[in-house]
Amino acid sequence: MRFITLITTLLWASVLSAQGWELKNNLPSPLHSATAFELNHSAYLVGGSDGNVNQNTVLRYDPANDFWTALSPFPGGALRGCFSFSNDEFGFVGGGFDGILSKPEMYRFDPATNSWTQVASYPSFGRVDCYSGSLNGIGYVGGGRSLDGTGIVSDDWFSYNPQTDTWTPRASLPFGARADGVCFTLDGFIYVALGANNQNDIVDVYRYNPQTDTWTQRSPFTGAGLTKAQVFVYAGEAYVGGGARIGHFQVQNIYFKYDAQSDSWQQVPGLVTGQRAGGVGFTVLGRGYIAGGQTNNGNVRSDVWSYVQCDGVPRDFIEDVEECDGVIVNFSVPEGANHVFWSTGEESSTIQVTSSGEVWVEAIYDGCIYTDTARVIRRDGAQSIPGSTFDICAYDELTLDISDVYPYQNERVTWSNGAEGPSLTVEEPGAYFAEIETDCGIATWYVTVRSGNCGFETLFIPSAFSPNGDGVNDMFTWSAQNVEDIRIEVYNRWGDKVYESVELSGEWDGTYRGRVLPAGPFTYAVRAKTVSGRVLEEFGTITLLE
């Protein structure tokens, strides 16, 4: 599925800026008077004529890859002018003309098995060029004519229920007997328009309400009366055009779109290749298509055209989400998508995601494909904080701060000793932990504090010295171990500083300004910084002896 989606993105990249008609891959051979139905994001064309011989071909069109595939032949024989419709599971094809007889039989197509099954026949005489469509899983067929020599044109209207394989008569067509018109579905109603009796082509448009089994006349087609016109639905509007005038087969290339909300018609550009009648129109993945048909001079066409209007503006469907582990994240695209494909392989408009990582979506609206990407970021509670190990030196202290390992946002934090707050100061090695009350549950930070290899950080200050020149304890000498900065100051009894030094080790001879000071007590102050960053301070008294 991922490979297919990548192909889709590449082939449809130009759709984002497409405007109007776009030429697609041709039919395998020329056809007119075929019928078409949409099923599982593909279109199926059945029967038709190459201008000389009726066909029993069944062609599947893949719009994502713009590719036609021939399937098993239609079991009803080589026919043209069949009716068709589909529901969510099957396609249905019936009626048609084999060159001799008009047929009433109908067949059901199963795309899962590429097989056909005969079902209940149309409950009246065999016919060709009917009005047909479907709504809410029910098929609707009516009108049409017999080509058996009688030339009978009908005004009947039947519904078909695939669940019970039964036909039910409904209110007859309100404009009388007619064939060769168009039928389309909009806004919960079925519309029939155009066509002809045996004398005139007409422009009438009627809307059928299946709930009340009633018909309501709508604004007539703006152009001339037509038979064998093409129709498709695009962006909530019906596009109708081409076709021919009755009697002289004057083929047209004028197209109009119908807005059901305003009940109005507006002209749109015709096909680049000019006039055609008897082509087949269909809608698949939101885009309108016209395939095949016949020109004024009788040439049968094989070209295929799609219609799309894309503004090229990116759409932001989904956004990044940060959520707790195990909480379901919902992503969805706006309503109205013709087709949706997610990176998970799902094809619904809404998905549920339980994992983390990137999520992307491709959504098709009115034949235009848009992509968007989002990330799911998971916070997994108790498993979210890795443990930590720190060293502490003797006589030192260590601050454990939760903000160093967790994006702290004023959550409640409780430490193993009962203290609360984002930090805890410890002085001893041991095992500690902090519990953080998050919206995903309790997250725990485990900390091991070890005795560090900090060395023995000390100062040695003597208590007395005798600078009398006898060579014994003549100097005031100090030493420091694992100390990187030091300041020593000595004061007399009146608070005057008589000596200072910043040497890590040194000695003082008891003199001040070149003279030996008198015997007696002196006060010292030492401030040192150890290699571990600890600050040592010591105050005391040293005695100068005679």
pLDDT digits (tens, 9 = 90+) for 170-214: 999 999 999 999 999 999 999 999 999 878 888 999 999 999 999
pLDDT digits (tens, 9 = 90+) for 379-427: 765 556 888 888 887 667 889 998 888 877 788 999 999 999 999 999 8
Fold of 19-309: Neuraminidase (2.120.10)
Above 50 in pLDDT, residue 243?
A: yes
- 534 Cβ contact list (under 8 Å, min separation 6): 393, 395, 396, 457
pLDDT digits (tens, 9 = 90+) for 103-135: 999 999 999 999 999 999 999 999 999 999 999
User: Does 19-309 match 458-544 in CATH topology?
Assistant: no
Q: What CATH class has 458-544?
A: mainly beta
The domain ranges of the chain are 19-309, 321-379, 385-451, 458-544
Q: What is the amino acid identity at position 290?
A: I
d(Cα 167, Cα 134) in Å, to the nearest integer? 13
What pTM did the predictor assign? Answer: 0.66
CA angle at 471 for the pair 469 and 475, rounded to the nearest 5°? 75
Please give the mean pLDDT across all residues of the chain: 88
Lowest mean pLDDT among 124-128, 479-483, 532-536: 532-536
Burial class of residue 16, CB neighbours in 10 A (0-12, 13-18, 19+)? middle
Pairing of strands 388-392, 441-451: parallel
Sheet strand arrangement including 214-218: 182-186, 189-193, 205-209, 214-218
Fold of 385-451: Immunoglobulin-like (2.60.40)
Report residue 12's pLDDT band, with 50, 70 and 90 as the boundaries: very low
d(Cα 22, Cα 214) in Å, to the nearest integer? 38
